[in-house]
Each structure stands twice: as C-alpha cells, then as structure tokens.
Amino acid sequence: MTITTSTRTDPVVRTVDAVHRLGTIVGVWAHPDDEVYLSGGLMAAAAARGQRVVVVTATRGEHGTDDPGTWPPARLAARRSQEIVDSMAALHDAVEHRFLGDARGRCHLDGSLRGDPGADTVDELAGVLADVAPDTVLTFGPDGLTGHGDHRAVSAWTDRAVRQLAGASPRVLHACVTARWVERFGEFVEPMDDGDDAFAPVPSEHLAVELELGGDVLARKVAALRAQSTQTASLEAALGSARYEDSVAGEYFRPAGRS
C-alpha cells in the first residue's frame, strides 16, 4: 500500500460547498490549536454537511507558553485539554476528538516527539484510522509547516499508520501556505520559524484545498480559536481582531508527495 501522492487529480476544493468531496475526515496534529488554525473552517463546513470529522492530537501542549510560572506543565496540560473540547464544540457539536496515548494511559509529551515513536504509537494511530475509515487525512507534511520537531514527527507517524491499513488508503493532504499568504502575513513567519524550510509557499496549481473563508464558517473558526485562549488571546490582542481574523481565513493543503 502506498500513500496517495501528487499524481492524483481530484478537483481542488476552493469553496465550502466543495468540502463534501473530502468525505470522512481525520486530522492528525501535534498540539491543541494546530487543528483549528490549519483546518477549522474546513472541519466546520464538513461537519455541518453531515460528514464525519475526527481530530487526533498527539500531545496536550503542556509547554506551549512563554509564562511557565503562571502555566506550569501540569496546569497548562489540563487547561488545554479542556480548551480543545470547547474549541471543537464551537466548530460543530459533531466534531470528535481523541488524544493519542489515552488508551494506554501514557500521554505524549509536548516537545519530545520523534519520527520513530515505537510500534505501540503507530499501531494506536493506525487503529483509529481503521476504525474511522476516513476518505481524507489532514496532517503536517515532512517540513512540519513551521519546522517544529513535533509537527515533523506527527507527519512521519501518520505516513507509517496509513501504510498499515488494509484495503484502500485514504487521501493524505499536508498543510501548507501560499505565496500570497506569506506576502500578506509575513510577520507570523519569523516568530514561528523552527526550520530552514518553514512556511515554504506552495503554488496554487499544486494545491488540493485552497479555501478563503468568510461568513458563518469563518465566525465559527474564530470562535473555536478564541476557545483556546492560552494560545490565541495574546496574538489577537497584538494584531487587533480584524487583522487576526483576516490572517486565519485561509486554509491550504497539498497532496502528500507534492512539494
């Protein structure tokens, strides 16, 4: 079995009315908030149309703070675990969420993920995919988008888990940005740049999803982001609400194997 690559020629999803083409969706992400920033509108639109949407998160994001005095790891992990539940509900009450490691009582630690996590983790993720039987898997590409090591690791885990599936494999799509997004919002790139290949723009003709959100779908996404306030409130305050909302209105994915 091989993961779907850039040779596939499905129509590009450019409107929320076309999200139905993605079928049942599973998103596999490293930290709470990854899923909403990169695919919140897409998930809201899909769930509203009756598609099954499942989010899988590898860590509880316990080190995602510049203020560890206020937010020591255990406290932040508990807060972010609740934030993501509230965030998914803001998108749509049908969006499902799971943390990897819960079934074994062993949570993965924020900042510690590696490309080879051991068979148990890959088997657990493959089990989720087999159970849900998605048509589309959304995740990071090998570059991790920002270059973050946890993002890169989750990309590798997902590749391995998909290869374990019996029968037809889901279409795997990797989060990316466009040149226009980088041009308009370049101030976001440097603070989040964890690697030399961070935020490498993808040409429009190489995209599988190119959504520019508005209306109720964007409103739901922004509400879901605000529900994860430990990660979003300070950025929105610094940018102003209008600029912040504009910056999160685009969602872009390329087929796995497409650079």
Each residue of 221-252: pLDDT tens digit? 999 999 999 999 999 999 999 999 999 999 99
**156 HSE (CA, 13 A, CB side):** 15
pLDDT in tens, 133-156: 999 999 999 999 999 999 999 999
CATH of segment(s) 16-255: 3.40.50.10320
Q: What is the pLDDT of residue 224?
A: 98
Total residues belonging to the chain: 259
Contact 238, 191 (CB under 8 A): no
pLDDT more than 90, % of the chain:
83
pLDDT in tens, 76-103: 999 999 999 999 999 999 999 999 987 6
Over residues 34-53, mean pLDDT: 98
- Residue 147 CA to residue 151 CA, distance in Å, equals 7
Q: What is the pLDDT of residue 199?
A: 83
The full set of domain ranges for the chain reads 16-255
Over residues 27-46, mean pLDDT: 98
Calculate the average pLDDT of the chain.
91
Cβ count near 49 (within 10 Å)? 13
Confidence at 107, pLDDT banded by 50, 70, 90: confident
Q: Are strands 25-29 and 53-57 parallel, antiparallel or unpaired?
A: parallel
Over residues 54-75, mean pLDDT: 95
